Structure 1
Amino acid sequence: MTTLFVRHSVTDYRTWRKTYDAFSEMQKANGVTAEAVYQSTDDPNDVTVTHEFATLEAAKAFAKLDALAKAMQTGGVVGTPTVWFTQKA
């Protein structure tokens, strides 16, 4: 199993969350088997999300989706997200 982590700042969490939730069918259609959203305790607009996939290849393909980039822009992501992949040990 591979987990994709994405940390980014957003202009407004509630606006971002609506966009994120509306993207759930696209997540499922592209191999996401589980997901979670976390907010910093110091700044609610500092968001980290996790998405689990069966393979690293599926996770990398999802991260490159044009639809994902557009949703992040629509949701108010500020700057360049920090992205990393992990394997369950």
Structure 2
Amino acid sequence: MEDFEAWKSSFDSNDSFRTENGQRGYQAFQSVDDPNEVVVLFDWDEGEDPRAFFKSEGMRERMVDAGLKGMPEMSVVQMINQKSGVEPSA
């Protein structure tokens, strides 16, 4: 992306569009070395194909408007394990 702030504004304003098409939630991470590098982990409805949604004309237009350069890299993964609530060591 060219400008994180422009992307973030567009990303936030398109939340309802993504939700209507299967998004249940997400986590967004920003690189500490390059503020224009972002990784987003989406939680998507089972039975819905997020790849088809992100390749749709409506989503492509939104990505261009957000300042993305080309199609972002995308992988569909399934959670196999999760751990949280661990106290940091002293």
TM-score of the two chains, using structure 2 as the length reference: 0.78
Evaluate the alpha carbon distance shift between residue 53 and residue 80 of structure 1 in structure 2; reply closer, same or farther with a 3 A threshold. Answer: closer
Residues of 1 paired with 2:16 and 2:71: CA distance? 24
Does 2:7 match 1:33?
A: no
Cα offset, 1:56, TM superposition = 5.7
Residues of 1 paired with 2:56 and 2:73: CA distance? 16
State the Cα RMSD in Å: 1.5
Secondary structure of the residue aligned to 2:72 is: strand
Alignment of 1:64-83 (within 5 A): 64-83=55-74
Residues of 2 paired with 1:75 and 1:85: CA distance? 22
Percent identity among equivalent residues? 28
Residues of 2 paired with 1:80 and 1:25: CA distance? 21
Letter in 1 for 2:39: T
Name the stretch that deviates more: 54-63 or 21-30.
54-63
Secondary structure of the residue aligned to 1:87 is: coil
TM-score of the two chains, using structure 1 as the length reference: 0.79
Secondary structure of the residue aligned to 1:18 is: helix
Q: Which residue of structure 1 aligns with residue 10 of structure 2?
A: 19
Gaps of at least 5 residues in structure 2 are 81-90
Which residue of 33, 38, 42 maps to 1:42? 33
Residues of 2 paired with 1:79 and 1:72: CA distance? 8
Residues of 1 paired with 2:48 and 2:76: CA distance? 11
